[in-house]
Amino acid sequence: MKHVIDGLEVASADGRTFEVRNPATGALVERVAEGGATEVARAVDAAQQAFDDGRWSKLPVSQRYRILNRFAQSIEDSLPSLSTLESTCTGRPLREMSAQLSRLPEFYRYFAAVARTAEDSLTPFEGPYLSYVRRVPLGVVGQITPWNHPLLILTKKLAPALAAGNTVVVKPSEYTPLTTLQLAKIALEAGIPPGVFNVVAGFGGEAGRALSSHAGLAKLDLTGGTETGRVVAQTAGANLVRVNCELGGKAPVIVLPDADLEKAAGGAIFAAFIATGQTCIAGARILVHESQAQDLIERMVARAVSLRMGDPLLAETQLGPLVSERQLQRTEEYVAIGIKEGAEIECGGKRATSGALGQGFFYEPTIFADVRSSMRIAQDEIFGPVTCVLTYKDLDEAVRIANDIPFGLGASIWTSDAAKGIKLSERINCGVVWINDHHRIDPSLPWGGMKASGMGREAGIEGYREYTQTKSVVVNLDEPVDWYATTKTLRLS
Ligand code: NDP
């Protein structure tokens, strides 16, 4: 597959390509053009041209609204093929991918509606003036995305960016560029003009670096690891490019003593092992009252060992492989660290190799008990099917442990008393707190992290606004004052 730049499928100038492989089997899925600074420069130029000539940014919002709705419909029509391709490249079970991608059209429809209904404001400017504030697009936006939810994460950025009238250059993850390239083609067919949505495939160290250091961007929006965020924010910041970063996380799942333990166990397993634990809000720190720990662990283990691992494309599969050998090794290293730190493995703890599983990067769902918050397995983002159970004596200790981590993206609270859950949510330093649920998102819900989990917000009205900037217009309704000709005392502000 080739880059999509200015409405055309183009190879890299130097002809380089790289392989995308199926993590469940190791089989080659496709060779993809490998871009670098040349392709990024070409894509940013195309996006700048498209922005400047107004083919999208100056289109009446009612027309952008119609085109984005057509795009949403085309995505809906393509869901079966997009889900299969996404599942093949990420290794995530088709059941999960289909459920996740079925949400995509909503995002385009929601943000099209937000743009269509956005109203500018009048300000109470003192004196004989009419002053109004418009929201205008930013310009060319760079978007760098990870491999764990390739299309969903892209959509959270792309839908508001396009709705607001920006033009975009996307650098998808080297592991999962295919669906993003496919989406760019669907966009063209749906009537999004050439040059508005460009995709350069390639590696983070080269294409990603070239995009994040391009001085022509108005904004750079990254979802990725916290270390990548630090590098990218510095690079873009040096060019005074505004930056949004959605970064790592390690979500606490707080089980209150009054919770239904069976439901909480189901919730904890869902929080921990969906996407084989490769999510930024993986429930990786399960907090339970010390008197209930054994009971909860037994219920969690019973569920974890019964998860059906296998071919992601089969309807019955519940747990797929890790995305890459690198993620598999990282998981193995962290499990070894956990054992060395003195934590106890309750289930899992090894690679799954039986039958066809041996060809892929499969790892058994793993639950650690006897974990202290200071242990590395409880502090670092493992990004694999590994979760830790920690105990608390009282609510204050639960809060202390929940917040005792550099990340602050998501958390969940399990309780039979919603009021108790709401009160507790006030004390948790995270961008999102679910009560009796986990992983739930909506186009209308602002998303973003506190602390080392990121800066800025995506989705919701706030996410839309972050893809716009204000322009204030002040109209003098009186005769202009001739400043140097008058002797009257005047005010400037
Ligand atoms: P990475 O940080 O490795 O990569 C993210 C993207 O950045 C990829 O496209 C990558 O390219 C690119 N990249 C890597 N290095 C650079 C660089 N120096 N300059 C510019 N671009 C670069 O993350 P992963 O893809 O491994 O994704 C997992 C991470 O994403 C986890 O930490 C997870 O928590 C986080 N995440 C956060 C979410 C949130 O909403 N807060 C949601 C989902 C994931 P390449 O793939 O070629 O390396």
230 lines ligand 1 (CB under 6 A): no
Sequence-distant (≥ 6) Cβ neighbours of residue 357 within 8 angstroms = 309, 310, 321
| pLDDT tens, position by position, 288-305 | 999 999 999 999 999 999
Those residues with Cβ within 8 angstroms of residue 440's Cβ, 6 or more apart along the chain or in another chain? 434
Of 280, 364, 381, 466, which is the active-site residue? Answer: 280
- pLDDT of 488 reads 80
By the 8 A CB rule, do 431 and 418 touch?
no
Q: Are 89 and 138 in contact (CB under 8 A)?
A: no
Q: How far apart are CA 367 and CA 81, in angstroms?
A: 34
383 lines ligand 1 (CB under 6 A): yes
Ligand 1 in contact with 321 (CB < 6 A)?
A: no
Task: Kindly give the distance from the C-alpha atom of residue 143 to the centroid of ligand 1, in angstroms, as a whole number.
Answer: 11
Q: How far apart are the first and last CA of the chain?
A: 58
Mean residue pLDDT across the chain: 97
- Asked whether the beta carbons of 327 and 278 are under 8 A apart, the reply is yes
**Range in 118-122, 349-353, 415-419, 483-487 the model is least confident about:** 483-487
From CA 74, how far away is CA 66, in angstroms rounded? 12
pLDDT tens digit string along 470-489?
A: 999 999 999 998 989 888 88
Q: How far is the CA of 22 from the centre of ligand 1 (A)?
A: 19
Distance 225 CA to ligand 1 centre (A): 5
The rounded Å distance from CA 224 to ligand 1 centre is 3
* The pLDDT value given to residue 489: 80
Residues 252-277 have a mean pLDDT of 98
Whether pLDDT at 491 is above 90: no
How much is the average pLDDT of 86-113? Answer: 98
Sign of the dihedral defined by the CA atoms of residues 359, 365, 368, 369, in that order: negative
Residue identifier of the C-alpha nearest atom 35 of ligand 1:
224
Which range is least confidently modeled, 2-6, 18-22, 448-452, 489-493?
489-493
Confidence of residue 455 (pLDDT cuts 50, 70, 90): very high
Mean pLDDT for the stretch of residues 106-125: 97
| Active-site position among 34, 86, 246, 346 | 246
- Model confidence band, residue 492 (pLDDT cutoffs 50, 70, 90): confident
Instruction: Write out the two tokens for 358.
Output: 């041996």
C-beta 154 within 6 A of ligand 1: no
Pocket test for ligand 1, best of 19, 149, 223 (most atoms within 8 A of CB): 223
φ, ψ dihedrals at 243, nearest 5°: -130, 135
User: Would you say 331 and 348 are in contact if contact means Cβ atoms under 8 Å apart?
Assistant: no
Protein residue with its CA nearest to atom 30 in ligand 1: 224
Q: Is the pLDDT of residue 368 over 90?
A: yes
Mean pLDDT of 60-65: 98
Tokens linked to 440 = 């739930």
Antiparallel, parallel or unpaired: β 283-289 and 386-392: parallel
247: left (phi over 0), alpha (psi -120 to 50) or beta: beta
305 C-alpha vs ligand 1 centroid, how far in Å? 30
Could you tell me if the CB of 361 is within 6 A of ligand 1?
no
- 27 has a pLDDT exceeding 80: yes
Measured on CA atoms in the order 395, 226, 380, 382, is the torsion positive or negative?
positive
Distance CA 363, CA 352 (A): 5
pLDDT band at 285 (very low <50, low <70, confident <90, very high): very high
Is 430 among the catalytic positions?
A: no
Beta partners for residue 4, in sequence order: 9, 199
Instruction: Let me know: does 321 contact 360? Beta carbons within 8 Å.
Output: yes
Express as a percent the part of the chain with pLDDT over 90: 98
Q: Is the pLDDT of residue 115 over 70?
A: yes
Coil, strand or helix: which one is 487?
coil
Mean pLDDT over 322-340 rounds to 98
Q: Which atom of ligand 1 is nearest to the CA of 228?
A: 2
| Distance (Å) from CA 58 to ligand 1 centroid | 33
Return the pLDDT at 335.
Answer: 98
Average pLDDT of span 136-149: 98
Among protein residues, the one with the nearest Cα to ligand 1's atom 16 is: 204
- Concerning whether 280 is annotated as a catalytic residue, the answer is yes
Give the pairing type, strands 121-122 and 129-137.
antiparallel
> For residue 136, how far is its CA from the centre of ligand 1 (angstroms)?
29
Across 272-418, where does the E strand assignment appear?
Answer: 283-289, 344-347, 366-369, 386-392, 407-408, 410-414
pLDDT of res. 493? 62
CA atoms of 448 and 446, how far apart (whole Å): 7
- Torsion angle of alpha carbons 7, 10, 12, 17, nearest 10°? 120
Is the minimum distance from the CB of 205 to ligand 1 under 6 angstroms? yes
DSSP track, 34-77: ---HHHHHHHHHHHHHHHHTTTTTTS-HHHHHHHHHHHHHHHHH
- Closest-CA residue, ligand 1 atom 31, reads 225
CA distance 289 to 310: 34
